[in-house]
Amino acid sequence: MTATLGVAVVPAEAAPVAAPRAAVVCPTGWGSLDKTYPASSAEPVRNVRTGRHDCYDRMVIDIPGAGSETLGYSVRYVDRIYQDGSGQYIPVAGGAVLEVRVHAPSYDPETGEPTYAGRPGRPLPGVNLTGYSTFRDARFVGSFEGDTQIGLGVRARLPFRVLRLADHLVIDVAHTWGTTR
């Protein structure tokens, strides 16, 4: 008795090929020069948070109750950042440093009690910049006479924009100077 073993031949299926990722068109024209808006708010800073996007890294400063017309700010690249009032140098890591100055306190103007948990010279509470393309460090500098200062360390001197929205000040720093990513 002879046994025959049969082997079935199954045609191989081609592995699916991932569609090429379309290039992301990133906005340009923001520039890296100082950006300011001369207004102020008595509403205090309550929180600072960050996020990653295809073309930029974003910082959002929450100021509930402040309208977009009362959110004053000054954002600019600096060689070193010094705390208002004391003049103390606050080191911020990165290839370049943005001084983010919000014309709003981080304390209750009536009581003087802090409304934001930031401590001078320390990283921003709850902000983890691991995996960000542009952001390298974010330090609370201080709040003095109604202005709150934050040091934002970035990879290099890159273009940025500032947006005033009701209850929020938004700072976007581009990943590159180019138009696609």
Write the pLDDT tens digit of every residue in 111-137: 999 999 999 999 999 999 999 999 999
Q: What are 72-90's pLDDT values in tens digits? A: 999 999 999 999 999 999 9
134/18: higher pLDDT:
134
What's this model's pTM, rounded to 2 decimal places?
Answer: 0.84
23/136: higher pLDDT:
136
| Confidence band, pLDDT 50/70/90 cuts, at residue 161 | very high
Backbone angles phi, psi at 68, to 5 degrees: -60, -30
Please, what are the domains in the chain?
A: 35-174 (2.60.40.3500)
Of 24-28, 139-143, 159-163, which gets the smallest average pLDDT? Answer: 24-28
Note the pLDDT of residue 7: 47
Q: In the predicted model, is pLDDT for residue 145 greater than 80?
A: yes
Residue 84 is classified by DSSP as: T
Q: In the predicted model, is pLDDT for residue 178 greater than 50?
A: yes
Average pLDDT over residues 78-105: 96
Residue 63 is classified by DSSP as: -
Angle at 165 (CA atoms; ends 41, 180), nearest 5 degrees:
135
What gap in Å lies between CA 51 and CA 128, rounded to an integer? 10
Note the pLDDT of residue 29: 82
Share of the chain above pLDDT 70, in %: 85
